[in-house]
DNA sequence: CTAACTATGTGATATTATTCACATCTCAGC
DNA sequence: GCTGAGATGTGAATAATATCACATAGTTAG
């Protein structure tokens, strides 16, 4: 499936295209041109064609792209035509909200484990039926339930230690909500979600035009 | 403060440098070289120096950067040496968790308004003392309380309509947590936080190495 | 005061990413 | 079946970004 060295930015855009295409599908739009799709995604039409060209030819010249087909093809490209199991670590405000949040399920991600360090929370049942485990059981439970991706929603101070444990448990993908740069071996891929950094960008733009 | 055309990526990195520097400060480290800082932030040392060079000379040759000074200088660069008022729109799981989340306050952001469409929630008082207003009052309240940045944490379907109202109320910065591409006039700067897109990237990496 | 050392700031270079522009292919209508 | 309109796929051109490499300047020790 993967031929050359693919820009990371391309992968991110493919996700965005997919989201937009899924919306179009709900509006019963069957075919779309790169031009119209580009407009909706806020990118250049050639960009879309280039991004897709890394992986093959998915369009029909003179016509455009069949929305339904393209969604499935992007899913293949990204490896989304299979289930991915998630573990949430840290069930404070943010972790609890995320685990309740419908978007993960909507896109085929399933929580199969949840951890916290607070003894008060251990054994409690979450709305989705999951029981909270103590973080000391992380390695065992992660292996047992075949978790693929760990989500860190702990305070900043605990993030690195949790990351270490996840790596030890054989996890190769981490989504990190803690506002620190965590260090992991090369085999593990980390994506950071830090909304205060995004706010800083906004502050900069508001302060100095753009 | 701003001289040439600054890459967006530079602005994002400046935020990251600042976060790391603030940690160093708590460890009583007073001076740091671009090399050591780069390692902690996971970037190239020359990158740091170039990023800073856009805005002036902040280091001491042969020595490095004074951590405390650099934090303040980056704050100046980003426009963070002043308060920024936020409005949360949408107080479901995510919105409620975010408004409780300590990181905004820690970095000088203050919620001065909160909105929801659910009549049941109107008038309720949040832990930080804010009373929830109905979204129909958005324009009025936003102007009254001098909100600078709107945060959208509504379902995807409502996001565009909320964005329109925020723009109408004179807002120029939006942090969008809804998983849709919202369309706004050029005067308004939007940053998106979509964690399922990040998960997609992780899925891709896990599927096809990298 | 001088010399050795160290880390910045920056021009030159290399790399990567985006956009353009057009040849190529498909479909619809006659 | 042929023709014209329309949209893809892609090599070439451009733009943006990151890295290298070194001259420069500050610091410290003798």
Distance B70 CA to C30 C1' (A): 73
Chain B: residue nearest A5 by CA?
B210
Question: Predicted confidence band at B186 (pLDDT cuts at 50, 70, 90)?
Answer: confident
In this prediction, residue A1 carries a pLDDT of 43
Query: How many Å apart are CA B70 and CA B23, to the nearest integer?
Result: 13
Distance (Å) from the C-alpha of residue A131 to the closest C-alpha of chain B?
19
Q: How many CB atoms lie within 10 A of CB A202?
A: 26
| Interval B121-150: pLDDT, tens | 999 999 999 999 999 999 999 999 999 999
What residues in A contact B202, CB-CB < 8 Å?
149, 173-175, 189, 191
Give all domains of chain B, ordered by start, each with its CATH number: 8-78 (1.10.10.10), 84-197 (3.40.50.720)
Q: Which residues touch strand D (CB under 7 A)?
A: A 33-35, 45-46, 49-50, 52-53, 57-65; B 7-10, 43-44, 46-47, 49-50, 60-63
- Mean residue pLDDT of chain A comes to 94
As a whole number, mean pLDDT of residues B63-88 equals: 96
Cα A11 from Cα A74, distance rounded (Å):
10
Question: Residue A122 belongs to what H/E stretch?
Answer: none
Quote the minimal CA–CA distance from A193 to chain B in Å: 7
> Is the distance from CB of A153 to CB of A91 less than 8 angstroms?
yes
User: Residue A186's pLDDT band (boundaries 50, 70, 90)?
Assistant: confident
CA distance B45 to B169: 43
Residue A2: predicted pLDDT: 46
Residue of chain B whose alpha carbon sits nearest to that of A42:
B181
Cβ-Cβ contacts under 8 Å, B201 against chain A: 8, 11-12, 15, 189, 191
Which among A95, A100, A96, A54 has a CA at the least distance from the CA of A77?
A54
pLDDT digits (tens, 9 = 90+) for A109-160: 999 999 999 999 999 999 999 999 999 999 999 999 999 999 999 999 999 9
> CB–CB of B22/B29 below 8 Å?
no
Instruction: Name all contacts of B164-169 with Cβ < 8 Å and 24+ positions apart.
Output: B165/B135, B165/B138, B165/B139, B166/B87, B166/B89, B166/B138, B166/B142, B168/B139, B169/B138, B169/B139, B169/B142, B169/B143
Check residue A4 and give its pLDDT.
60
Mean pLDDT of B24-46: 95
- Residue matched to tokens 């989705």: A128
* Cβ neighbour number for residue A76 with a 10 Å cutoff: 14
A156-173, pLDDT tens digit by residue?
A: 999 999 999 999 999 999
- Asked whether the beta carbons of A25 and A67 are under 8 A apart, the reply is yes
Q: Does the pLDDT value for residue B7 go beyond 60?
A: yes
Instruction: Please tell me whether any atom of strand C lies within 7 Å of the Cβ of A62.
Output: yes
Best mutation target among A95, A170, A204 (most B Cβ atoms within 10 Å) is A204
Check residue B1 and give its pLDDT: 44
Residue B148 confidence (pLDDT): 98
């Amino acid at each position: 499936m993967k031929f050359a060295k693919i820009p990371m930015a391309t992968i991110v855009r493919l996700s965005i295209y997919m989201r937009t295409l899924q919306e179009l599908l709900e509006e019963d739009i069957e075919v779309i041109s790169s031009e119209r799709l580009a407009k909706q995604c806020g990118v250049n039409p050639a960009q879309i064609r280039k991004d897709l060209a890394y992986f093959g030819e998915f369009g029909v010249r003179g016509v455009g792209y069949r929305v339904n087909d393209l969604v499935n093809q992007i899913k293949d490209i990204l490896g989304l035509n299979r289930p991915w199991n998630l573990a949430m670590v840290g069930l404070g405000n943010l972790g609890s909200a995320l685990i309740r949040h419908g978007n993960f399920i909507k896109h085929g991600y399933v929580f199969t484990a949840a951890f916290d360090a607070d003894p008060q929370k251990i054994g409690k049942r979450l709305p989705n039926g999951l029981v909270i485990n103590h973080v000391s059981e992380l390695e065992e439970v992660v292996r047992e339930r075949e978790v693929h991706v760990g989500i860190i929603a702990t305070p900043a101070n605990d993030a690195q230690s949790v990351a270490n444990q996840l790596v030890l448990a054989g996890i190769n993908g981490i989504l990190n909500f803690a506002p620190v740069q965590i260090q992991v071996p090369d085999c593990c891929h980390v994506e950071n979600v830090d909304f205060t950094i995004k706010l800083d960008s906004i502050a900069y733009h508001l302060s100095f035009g753009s």
